[in-house]
């Protein structure tokens, strides 16, 4: 297991970033007010649901997912 020691932005810092969507700003602020374990678990479920939806949409259009090599 790896540990990320990079400091995360505060909601106020994220608000200043014009490249970040309003949706992400709002949900990061809400996540910071929640129990971190619960927020992380819910984020993982949301990630899975979004990933599944993406694959379904791409499949409907005979496209494939482009992997990011980060």
Q: What is the structure's pLDDT at 64?
A: 75
Long-range contacts of 60-66 (CB under 8 A, 24+ apart): none
The Cα 27–Cα 47 span in angstroms is: 13
The two structure tokens encoding residue 45: 């479920």
Alpha-helical (H) ranges within 1-70 are 11-15, 22-32, 36-60
**Digitized pLDDT (tens) for each residue of the chain, 70 residues in all:** 456 777 888 889 999 999 999 999 999 999 999 999 999 999 999 999 999 999 999 999 888 766 665 4
Model pTM score: 0.69
Q: What residue segments make up the domains of the chain, in order of their start?
A: 11-60
């Amino acid at each position: 297991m790896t540990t990320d020691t990079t400091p995360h932005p505060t909601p106020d810092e994220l608000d200043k970033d014009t490249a970040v969507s309003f949706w992400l700003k709002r949900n990061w602020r809400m996540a910071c007010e929640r129990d971190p374990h619960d927020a992380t678990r819910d984020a993982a479920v949301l990630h899975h649901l979004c990933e599944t939806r993406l694959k379904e949409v791409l499949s409907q259009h005979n496209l494939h997912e482009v992997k990011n090599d980060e």
